[in-house]
Amino acid sequence: MVCSGRAYQELAQEIVDLLGVELVPQRALTYANSEVYVRFEESVRGADTFVIQSHPAPVNEWLMEQLIMIDALKRASAARITAVVPFYPYARQDKKHAGREPISARLVADLFKVAGAHRIMSIDLHAEQIQGFFDGPVDHLMGLPVLVRYVKEHYALDNMTVVSPDAGRVRLTDKWSDALGAPLAIIHKRRDPNKANEVAVGEVIGDVSGRTCLLVDDMIDTAGTICKAAEALMEHGATRVIAAATHAVLSGKATQRLNEAPFEEVIVTNSLPVPDTMAIPKLTVISVAPLIAAAIKAVFEDGSVASLFNSPSPFDQPRLPFG
């Protein structure tokens, strides 16, 4: 049985359409004092349940709603509960950078466990060690094959360089480099510790002159890092710049920055909702619903989620529905 929070029901509907099932009917509302109420209107006793919730702003509201949904399923005697979290909230707070700081990503994992989740399913965690924060199975899905397939279909690879926007994303960029058979470059980034979400780009390490540069990251939030990186690449002789990221957070001045930056195209997935009012003509959104649906099917049938990445086309719709 598949349930959906209210944050992004369009993605959940796309997933259940692929699976050939219906969303569990529920009554969900927010009281005047901002408290959340959820009641499932169908028995879930003994069911293998999947609770889908994206976490756009306001993150805290949607996180609390998902926790309440999980608690309701636990108290209704669901046999197994999987929290499907395409974009893991607080993932960037995965370690202490200074004294007296929280490790909020660990706290979120603890909250899921206490609420009653037996399993977490997420896409492209900001830090892979978050998998160890949860006391239970974590299915860490990869958006890279979905994005790589699009890049291969729309761009020539013989003159492409894959670029990491900062040193922290080199490991991800290396995977892209292997997948595309393209060389790698790195942008050295300095961040002002006294100003949140503000960066200063340093030097470009690698050959980008006369080449198509693909900037890759796990998310685009305020877009400051990736836009400054695009400008640096053009200043170093790149002929064109495209960007690819799994999670389109797009907060603050992201729309303005992306529209003003020298990108030919910005490729993201729909792990988070991208409102129609967010006018970014160069933005391309690719659905991860087939990926999530295939993973749900594998978990439900006690199959291998890892095997989804061993096939050249693991996300094709003929793998579904259940039967």
Query: Where in the sequence numbering do the catalytic residues fall?
Result: 189
Cα separations (Å) of 256 from 231, 266, 280? 15, 13, 8
Determine the straight-line distance between the first and last CA of the chain, rounded to whole angstroms: 15
Rounded Cα gap, residues 80 and 221, in angstroms: 33
Cβ neighbours around 1 below 10 Å, total: 19
Q: How far out from the chain centre does Cα 96 lie?
A: 22
* Amino acid at position 69, single letter: M
